[in-house]
């Protein structure tokens, strides 16, 4: 435990009695009371997450956009000021170094938010790719804390703490700057739960005070602190990919069924372009699908999928979904088995359990 | 943590309550706390045989799967049917409504290898370090 990294909110989690785990080298809360209760709180009221472990990498300079375009599968030139897009940070093979959120902060300044356990790898990768671009790359992760409020009550709970920024007009995947506890903060309408909510980027020094204040102010609304356990089940219900489970440096953007973040029409070369153009033309052999079990059992990461007695794929994420209350997941299956309604089996500790492909996402919030 | 004095305990955190030649078994309060929200219980079928210390099923929480071992050998005489729809009973009442199965004991002598409440309390305190 001594070697684990800590967020500025570590003492808050311990004071709340959270169960702590090693998450990619970080000492993080997996749950405070119950994953199910925390999950349901986010779907119905509000949950507060410490996501300070996430990586923040700034790309600045005259060729900031050119560098981002070279790194990213999506088309950052389409972003308006303070707009955000989900994208892939790609290898030359069209696979994922990581997935990320690209924020346009100015014409010559972009913020990339990446996965915690990939931050050092991503930063080194981006630096290695930045040679020849007139752009400066900075890893601001150590000086950036992040608190996510997720759930339908998030706006009401957060707004009283923010001056100089009206949160209600901010659309999903947009952001603004406001003053929180005397500090200018980036506040984005984003999240990893499939629910409405905000992510507040602030200094590590200010994070504990805001955490405590939101915990107190949120009580009448039913806000609870929520851990990584609920974060994982929430994102899985929403069919949001988890790096290391559903996507990695062996899966292409198209394999992962993320064609919507691949903009082959954008000008210029970018990592993975030629591989992905070829794959797009020829079609992919496999696809990341959503599925449910139609018999009793719980699918888990790594379980094998079978059809006609043959091994055909693998479960990348699975759980007993706390809000939808059924066993579901995502899996890579051959294209021929990827149609909605297709039956297959999941091998659960030697027992074949019936499953079927279902539409994505498992859960979509009502607007 | 609740460790009733009238039960026997295994090192893998199961309990057994013996009445005559029948033992009722489940998982301990410590086990359910460690697992978190329990969402699935797989118990052996009624009539099947279980062996002391051998895996006899599994308990799954949202995050993890945990094997459960038979505290004693014998024939499964009953399984708790309520757990199929209400696995959370293992969290709410691990020694009561969350019982998992009843075993007609093949050899009551096996029970002497289990811990009493005091020994189990010490064992849990030790493994918590």
pLDDT digits 0-9 by tens, A42-89 = 999 999 999 999 999 999 999 999 999 999 999 999 999 999 999 999
- The answer, for A329 touching chain B at a CB cutoff of 8 Å, is no
- The answer, for B63 touching chain A at a CB cutoff of 8 Å, is yes
How many C-beta atoms lie closer than 10 Å to residue B125's C-beta? 10
pLDDT tens readout for residues B99-110: 999 999 999 899
With beta carbons less than 8 A apart as the criterion, state whether A198 and A173 touch.
no
Nearest in space to A233 (alpha carbons), one of A101, A100, A323: A323
- The span from the CA of A65 to the CA of A9, in Å, is 33
Nearest in space to A28 (alpha carbons), one of A231, A236, A228: A228
Q: Say yes or no for a CB contact (<8 Å) between A34 and B84.
A: no
List the CATH number of the domain containing B42. 2.40.50.100
> What is residue A2's predicted lDDT score, i.e. its pLDDT?
63
Between β-strands A197-202 and A327-334, what pairing exists: parallel, antiparallel or unpaired?
unpaired
Closest residue in B to A326 (Cα–Cα): B39
Nearest in space to A81 (alpha carbons), one of A65, A97, A64, A105: A105
Of B37, B58, B65, the CB nearest to A35: B37
> What is residue A367's predicted lDDT score, i.e. its pLDDT?
72
Which residues of chain A are under the pLDDT cut of 50?
none
Of A19, A30, A298, the CB nearest to B60: A298
Q: How many CB pairs under 8 A join A and B?
A: 35
Interface mutation target, options B36, B44, B62, chain A, most CBs of A under 10 Å:
B62
How many C-beta atoms lie closer than 10 Å to residue A132's C-beta? 10
Q: Taking CB atoms and an 8 Å cutoff, what residues of chain A touch B37?
A: 34-37, 322
Q: Taking CB atoms and an 8 Å cutoff, what residues of chain A touch B84?
A: 296
Residue A306 neighbours by CB under 8 Å, 6+ apart: A312, A344, A345, A346, A347, A352
Cα A48 to chain centroid, rounded: 15
Maximum Cα–Cα distance across chain A:
63
> What is residue A366's predicted lDDT score, i.e. its pLDDT?
85
Asked if residue B125 is part of any domain, the answer here is: no
- A99, with CB counted inside 10 A (0-12, 13-18, 19+), is buried
How many distinct structural domains can be found in chain B? 1
Here the tokens at position B10 are: 């295994």
Q: Report DSSP state, residue A247.
A: B
Q: Say yes or no for a CB contact (<8 Å) between A320 and B40.
A: yes
- The answer, for B60 touching chain A at a CB cutoff of 8 Å, is yes
Q: Say yes or no for a CB contact (<8 Å) between B36 and A19.
A: yes
Q: Report DSSP state, residue A85.
A: E
With beta carbons less than 8 A apart as the criterion, state whether A14 and A225 touch.
no
| Closest-CA distance of chain A to residue B33, Å | 10
pLDDT tens readout for residues A109-138: 999 999 999 999 999 999 999 999 999 999
With beta carbons less than 8 A apart as the criterion, state whether A189 and A175 touch.
yes
With beta carbons less than 8 A apart as the criterion, state whether A37 and A45 touch.
no
CA distances A360 to A282, A288, A367, B3, Å, are 24, 10, 17, 45
> What is residue A315's predicted lDDT score, i.e. its pLDDT?
98
> What is residue A224's predicted lDDT score, i.e. its pLDDT?
98
The CATH number fitting domain A55-127, selected from 3.40.50.2300, 1.10.10.10, 3.90.1310.10, 3.30.70.1400:
3.30.70.1400
- Residue range(s) defining the domain that contains residue B46: 8-106
- The span from the CA of A54 to the CA of A56, in Å, is 7
CA distances B66 to B17, B42, B87, Å, are 21, 10, 14
Between β-strands A286-293 and A223-225, what pairing exists: parallel, antiparallel or unpaired?
unpaired
Cα A214 to chain centroid, rounded: 23
**Does B128 have pLDDT greater than 80?**
no
Interface mutation target, options A18, A319, A323, chain B, most CBs of B under 10 Å:
A319
> What is residue B129's predicted lDDT score, i.e. its pLDDT?
62
| Closest-CA distance of chain A to residue B112, Å | 32
Q: Which CATH class is domain A10-52+144-237?
A: alpha beta
Where do the structural domains in chain A lie, given as residue ranges? 10-52+144-237, 55-127, 285-358
| Closest-CA distance of chain A to residue B5, Å | 27
A285-358 folds as: Elongation Factor Tu (Ef-tu); domain 3 (2.40.30)
Sign (positive/negative) of CA torsion A172, A173, A174, A178?
positive
Asked if residue B128 is part of any domain, the answer here is: no
């Amino acid at each position: 435990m001594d070697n684990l990294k800590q967020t500025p909110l570590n003492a808050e989690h311990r004071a709340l009695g959270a169960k702590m785990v090693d998450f990619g080298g970080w000492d993080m809360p997996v749950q405070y009371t119950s994953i199910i209760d925390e999950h349901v709180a986010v779907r119905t009221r509000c949950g507060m997450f410490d996501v300070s472990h996430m990586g923040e990498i700034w790309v600045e300079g005259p060729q900031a956009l050119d560098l981002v375009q070279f790194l990213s599968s999506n088309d950052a030139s389409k972003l308006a000021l303070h707009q955000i897009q989900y994208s892939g940070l790609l290898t030359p093979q069209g696979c994922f170094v990581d997935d990320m959120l690209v924020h346009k902060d100015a014409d010559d300044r972009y913020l990339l938010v990446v996965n915690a356990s990939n931050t050092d790898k991503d930063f080194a990768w981006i630096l290695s790719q930045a040679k020849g671009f007139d752009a400066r790359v900075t890893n601001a992760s150590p000086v950036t804390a992040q608190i996510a409020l997720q759930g339908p009550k998030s706006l009401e709970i957060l707004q009283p703490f923010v001056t100089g920024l009206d949160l209600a007009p901010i659309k999903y995947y947009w952001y603004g700057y406001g003053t929180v506890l005397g500090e200018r903060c980036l506040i984005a309408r984003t999240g990893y739960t499939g629910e409405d909510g905000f992510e507040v980027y602030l200094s590590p020094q200010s994070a504990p005070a805001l955490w405590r204040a939101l915990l107190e102010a949120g009580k009448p609304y039913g806000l609870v602190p929520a851990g990584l356990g609920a974060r994982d089940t929430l994102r899985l219900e929403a069919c949001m990919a988890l790096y290391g489970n559903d996507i990695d440096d062996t899966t292409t953007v198209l394999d992962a069924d993320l064609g919507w973040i691949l903009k082959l029409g954008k000008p210029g070369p970018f990592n993975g372009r030629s591989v992905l153009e070829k794959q797009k033309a020829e079609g992919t052999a496999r696809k990341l699908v959503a599925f449910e079990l139609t018999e009793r059992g719980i699918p888990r990461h790594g379980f094998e999928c079978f059809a006609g007695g043959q091994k055909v794929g693998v479960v990348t994420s699975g759980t007993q979904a706390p809000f939808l209350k059924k066993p579901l997941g995502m899996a890579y299956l051959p294209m021929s088995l990827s149609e909605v309604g297709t039956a297959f089996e999941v091998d659960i500790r030697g027992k074949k359990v019936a499953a079927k492909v279902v539409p994505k996402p498992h859960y979509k919030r009502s607007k | 943590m609740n460790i009733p004095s009238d039960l026997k305990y295994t090192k893998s955190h199961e309990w057994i309550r013996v009445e005559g030649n029948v033992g009722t078994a489940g998982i301990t309060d410590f086990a359910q706390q460690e697992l978190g929200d329990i969402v699935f219980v797989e118990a052996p079928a009624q009539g099947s045989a279980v062996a002391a210390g051998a895996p006899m099923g599994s308990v799954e929480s949202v995050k993890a799967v945990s094997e459960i071992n038979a505290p004693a050998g014998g024939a499964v005489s009953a399984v708790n049917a309520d757990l199929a729809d209400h696995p959370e009973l293992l969290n709410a009442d691990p020694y009561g409504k969350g019982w998992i199965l009843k075993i007609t004991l093949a050899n009551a002598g096996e029970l002497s290898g289990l811990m009493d409440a005091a020994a189990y309390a010490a064992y849990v305190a030790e493994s918590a370090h």
